Structure 1
Amino acid sequence: MRALSRPRSYHFELSSRLSKLAWTVGMGSFILWAMTCLTRDLDGRAAGTLDQDLESLHEAVSLLPDDPEIHRRLGRLYLLDPLALDPSRALMHFRRAVEASPFDHTLWIDVGRAYEQRDQSKQAEHAYRRAVALAPHYFRPRWIYANFLLRHGRLEEGVTELERLITANPDSMPHIFDLVWQATGEGGRILMTWGRRSTSDRARAELVRFLSGRGRYQDALMVWREMARQTKVKLESGLYLVSALMSAHRWDQAAHVWREVVLDHDPRVTVDDLGFWNRSFERERWGMGFDWHIEGDQGVEAGIDDAMSWDGERSLRLRFRQHNGLHFEGVYHDVLVEPASDVILRFRYRTKEMLARNGVMVEVIDPVHPGRWRARTPPLGNPTEWTEETLSFHAPPGTRILRLRIVRRPMDILHDYVAGEIWFDAFSLEPTSAIAR
C-alpha cells in the first residue's frame, strides 16, 4: 500500500513570496525616499541660505543657478548693504533674475533701481516702464515710476502718472498730494493746476483737506468753489475748511467761508438764519464750524428731541443718568461777535422730574482764553413749562469769538444731585452774530 505523500506547505511558500515582494517594495520606497530627501536637502541648502550672508547666497546660487529669487536677494544685498555695496554686481544679478522670470514686475523694479544707482537714467526708465506695463493696475510700479519722473524734474509727466494712480486708487490721494508737495518745491502750483482740471469732486474734496492742513486756505477755497453745488461731498469739505480756519483763529475768514458753505448748500437761507445758526435745532446738525456741537457721555444723554419744542418741531434734550458729582460741558455753539460789544442772549427751557437745585447753567466764554473771562446764568430751575431765560454781558475788547455752552457743575455735597430731563430751544443773540453782517 502506497504511503500517503506529505502535503506541501502552501502557507510557507505564500509567506515567503509575500516577504520577498514586501522587501522589494520596501527597498523601492526607501530608494525613492532617499532620492526625495537628497533633492530636498539640495533645495533646502539653497533655500535655507537665502536670508544669510553673502557667502551663503553664493553657495545657494551655485546649487540653483537659474533661481530668480536667489539672484534677487544677491542683487539687493549688493545694492543695499553698505558693506557689500556694488551696483554693477547688483545689476548683473537682477538681470539674471529677469532672464529667468521676465514677467515678474517686481524684478524689473529692482533692475530700474540698480540702473539708477549707476546713474543710467535712460535704462532705469525703460525698466520702470516695463514694470508698469506688466502690472498696469498695481499701485507700486506706477508709484515708483512717478517718483522717478519727479526726481528727474519731469513734473508734468510725473503728475500725469499720479493722476492715473488717483483714478485707480482714490484712497491714495493724501499720500500722492504729500509726495508732490515734498518732492517738487512747487507743490502748491502743481496741485492747484491739477485741482482745476480734475473732474472728480471726491478728489477735489481731498485736495481741500490737504491744502487746509498745509495752511493754504485761500487755495483750498478756490478748489472748493470748483466743486458741484449742493452736494454732500462739497458740504463736508467746506465744513472741514471752516473748522481748519477756526482752529487757526482766523475768525473773519472762517465766517466768510461759512456763509459761502451755508448759502451754497441752501440758497433759501436768510440773514436771520445766519444770526444764530440752527437756533431751534430744526436744521440738519452738522456738528462743525458755527453749528451746534452736541456730545453726551456716560453721565448725560444728549440729543435732539422730535417730540418736544417751543419753536418749530424740535428741541435739545439732556437726560441725566449720573446723579452725583456730575461735571458736563458737552454741548456748545460758537458765534462771532464784535469786540467790546454789549450782548443779550435769550433762550427757552423746560424740565421734567428735576429738582429746583440741579447745577445746570448756560455760560459764555472766550474759547481762545477760556480762563480769562466768562458770563453765566444763575443755576436753572425746574419749570415744567417753557420758560425764557436772559443773559446780558459785555464782550471784552479783543474777543472775536464767543462759545455758548450748556454745563452742569457739581454743587455742595449736601445738595449735589441731578436727575430727570431738561429741554432747550429758541436761542438768539442781540445784536446778532457778526456772520449775519
Structure 2
Amino acid sequence: MAIAAFLVCLWLGWSAARRGASRLLSDYGVRANRLDAANAAVKLTPSDAEAHYARALVLAQSGMFSEAGAATEHAVALRPRDYVLWVELGQDRDQIGDVDGALTAFKEAVRLAPFYAQPRWQLGNLFLRTGRSREAFTELRRAALSDPSLWPQLIDLAWSALRGDAGAVRQVIEPQTPDERLALARYFAKKGKALEAVELFHGGGGASEEDVNNLMSELLAGGMFKEAYEVWRSAAGAKTDAGVAVIVDGSFEGRILRENHGFGWQLARDVQGVTSSLDLQERRSGARSLQLDFNGASDPSARIVSQLGLVEPNSSYRLLFAARSEELVTGGPPVIAVLDANANGLVLAESTPLPQGTSDWMEYEMMFNTSDTTSAVLITLQRQGCSSGPCPVFGRVWLDDFSLRKQ
C-alpha cells in the first residue's frame, strides 16, 4: 500500500509538473509568437485544451488560419462548454471564408454565454458583412447593452451600413436610455444632422449638465446655432420661445455662471487684471448692473464678457446698451463689438470707446447688417489695442440695459 501511495504521489507530481511546464510554454509561445514553444506545450499535455488554444492563437497570429481552426477544434473538443473557444473558432473559420462554419461557432458561443458581449458582437458583425442587417443590429445592440463601451462602435457601424440615413440609424439602434439618446444626438450633430440631434435630445430626458454642454458644443462647432439654442433653452428652462434678436438677461438681473455654455452672458476665465461682479447699488435700471474692475495689465483681445445671439441673414439690427465709467485710465479703452459667429469672428460693428475718466450713465446705439450666411452674432466687451505694449488699464466700468432690435 505504501508503495502504491508513493507511486500515485509521484504520478500526480509528474502530471502537475508537466502541466505547469506546458502552461509556461503556452504563455511564452503566445507572447513571443513562437510556434515551436506552442507545439512543445501540446506535446507535453495533449489533453489540455489550453495548450491547443494557445497553439491556435500563435497560428492565427502568423496568418495560418486553416491550421489555427484545426487547433481550436481540438481545444473545443476537450472543453466544449467554453464560449471563448467557440468565438476563436468562429474567427478562424471567418478568416478562411467558411461563413457557415463561422456562424455555427458564433451561435454556439452565444448559446453558451447569452449575456456576454463578445459572442453577440462577433455574430452581429458577421451577419452585417453577409447582408443580414436586421439580424446583425439585433445582435450588435444586445452586445452593446452588455458592454456600453461598444455603443460608439455600434453607431459608427450603423451610420456606415445605412449610408448616413439618420432616421434609419435611429430605428435600428433603438436608443432607450438618456445616455444612449444623447450619445446618438452628439453623433448626429457631428455629422451635420442638427434637427435629428435636437429631436433626440428633447425625447431623452434626464440629461446631465455635462451632457447638455457636450451636445451644445458639437452643434456650435458645426455652426448649427439655432439648434444649439433649442437645446440650451430646453435645458435652461428659458421661458421665451423666440430666440432671434433676443438678448438673454440684458439688464443683468440674474446670476452669471462662469461655466455657462451656449447662450446667455459668459465671463472669460482667467483674464489677468480684470474682476467682475453684479452691482446692486450702481445701475441704469432694474435691480443691478455688471461691474468690471480693471487693475493692471490685461490682454486687449480678451472677450471679457460676451453673449451669443441668434439673428437672421441679410438683415439690419440695432444694438442698444448703457454704460458708465469711473477713474478709467488706459491706452486701450473698452468697446462693445458685434462679431459674425458664422465668419470666424468678423467684426460687424464696434461701439465708440467707453469714456476715460469718470462719466455718468450714457446710452449707446450700434447698427449692423448681417450677410447671407450669418445666423448668429457674438456681442462682446473687449479692448482696443494700444499703440505699444504693455497695455494696462485701471478703473471701473458698469454695463446695463442691453437690447437687440431688428430694423
Q: TM-score, normalised by structure 2?
A: 0.76
Match of 2:86 in 1: 108
Is the CA contact 1:366–1:402 (under 8 Å) kept in the aligned structure 2? yes
Of 89, 92, 108, which aligns to 1:130? 108
Is the CA contact 1:334–1:402 (under 8 Å) kept in the aligned structure 2? yes
Of 279, 295, 299, which aligns to 2:250? 279
Match of 1:25 in 2: none
Query: C-alpha deviations, 1:180-213, integer Å up to 9, x for none?
Result: 2224547634323247x54423322222111121
Alignment of 1:214-253 (within 5 A): 214-228=191-205, 232=207, 237=212, 244=218, 246-249=220-223
Query: C-alpha deviations, 1:278-328, integer Å up to 9, x for none?
Result: 323426758444433432225155666485773555654545465266541
Alignment of 1:35-434 (within 5 A): 44=24, 47-50=27-30, 51-82=32-63, 85-87=64-66, 89-185=67-163, 188-194=166-172, 198-228=175-205, 232=207, 237=212, 244=218, 246-249=220-223, 254-255=225-226, 258=229, 262=233, 266=237, 268-269=239-240, 275-281=246-252, 282=254, 287-299=260-272, 305=278, 310=283, 311-312=285-286, 315-320=289-294, 323=297, 326-339=300-313, 341-350=315-324, 354-355=328-329, 359-369=333-343, 373-381=347-355, 387-395=361-369, 397-398=371-372, 400=374, 401-413=376-388, 416-419=391-394, 421-431=396-406
Structure-2 separation of matches of 1:271 and 1:46: 69
What percent of counterpart residues are identical? 24
Q: Secondary structure at the match of 2:37?
A: helix
Letter in 2 for 1:431: K
Is the CA contact 2:298–2:393 (under 8 Å) kept in the aligned structure 1? yes
Letter in 1 for 2:403: S
Is the CA contact 1:343–1:395 (under 8 Å) kept in the aligned structure 2? yes
Letter in 2 for 1:366: D
Question: How large is the RMSD of aligned CA atoms in angstroms?
Answer: 4.2
How many residue pairs get matched? 390
Is the CA contact 2:25–2:41 (under 8 Å) kept in the aligned structure 1? yes
Could you say if the C-alpha distance between residues 92 and 260 of structure 1 is closer, same or farther in structure 2, counting changes exceeding 3 Å?
Answer: closer
Structure-1 separation of matches of 2:23 and 2:241: 79
Could you say if the C-alpha distance between residues 425 and 160 of structure 1 is closer, same or farther in structure 2, counting changes exceeding 3 Å?
Answer: farther
Could you say if the C-alpha distance between residues 245 and 44 of structure 1 is closer, same or farther in structure 2, counting changes exceeding 3 Å?
Answer: closer
Query: C-alpha deviations, 1:47-90, integer Å up to 9, x for none?
Result: 544434333322332123234343223223333424xx242x21
C-alpha deviation, 1:408, in angstroms: 2.6
Is the CA contact 2:318–2:367 (under 8 Å) kept in the aligned structure 1? yes
Letter in 1 for 2:200: V
Structure-1 separation of matches of 2:116 and 2:48: 24
Letter in 2 for 1:346: L
Could you say if the C-alpha distance between residues 318 and 174 of structure 1 is closer, same or farther in structure 2, counting changes exceeding 3 Å?
Answer: farther
Query: C-alpha deviations, 1:360-410, integer Å up to 9, x for none?
Result: 221122234457654222332367787234132331553634322111344
Could you say if the C-alpha distance between residues 158 and 376 of structure 1 is closer, same or farther in structure 2, counting changes exceeding 3 Å?
Answer: same
C-alpha deviation, 1:110, in angstroms: 0.3
C-alpha deviation, 1:261, in angstroms: 6.0
Could you say if the C-alpha distance between residues 332 and 60 of structure 1 is closer, same or farther in structure 2, counting changes exceeding 3 Å?
Answer: same
Query: C-alpha deviations, 1:112-147, integer Å up to 9, x for none?
Result: 112223444344233223333444444333322221
Could you say if the C-alpha distance between residues 368 and 308 of structure 1 is closer, same or farther in structure 2, counting changes exceeding 3 Å?
Answer: farther
Structure-1 separation of matches of 2:389 and 2:269: 26
Q: TM-score, normalised by structure 1?
A: 0.71
Stretch of structure 1 that moved more, 381-390 or 51-60 = 381-390
More strand by share: 2
Is the CA contact 1:91–1:111 (under 8 Å) kept in the aligned structure 2? yes
Find the structure with the greater CA-based Rg: 1
Q: Secondary structure at the match of 1:355?
A: strand
C-alpha deviation, 1:94, in angstroms: 0.8
Letter in 1 for 2:160: Q
C-alpha deviation, 1:157, in angstroms: 2.4
Is the CA contact 2:271–2:299 (under 8 Å) kept in the aligned structure 1? no
Could you say if the C-alpha distance between residues 218 and 96 of structure 1 is closer, same or farther in structure 2, counting changes exceeding 3 Å?
Answer: same
